[in-house]
Amino acid sequence: MAEQFRLGVGAISATNTNQRFIYNHLNGDLFFDADGMGATTSSGDRIACW
């Protein structure tokens, strides 16, 4: 389950096919990448911002 999450400054997309939820802790954006292929396609969809 933990492999589905990515945390990072400036993170907006997955870096491997296991990642689905991407959290940018610099600005609080939370993204969802449906296929986990954000690094090779478009970035994930922003689903929340804190």
Q: What is the pLDDT along the chain (50 residues), one digit of tens a residue?
A: 899 999 999 888 888 889 999 999 999 999 988 887 765 545 678 888 87
Residue 28 backbone zone (phi > 0: left; psi -120 to 50: alpha; other: beta): left
What confidence score (pLDDT) does residue 5 get?
92
State which H helix or E strand residue 32 sits in.
strand 29-32
β-strand pairing of 45-49 with 29-32: antiparallel
> Can you tell me the distance from the alpha carbon of 21 to that of 47, in angstroms, rounded to the nearest whole number?
10
Q: From the CA atom positions of the chain, what is the Rg in Å?
A: 9
> Can you tell me the distance from the alpha carbon of 47 to that of 50, in angstroms, rounded to the nearest whole number?
11
What confidence score (pLDDT) does residue 15 get?
86
pTM of the model: 0.75
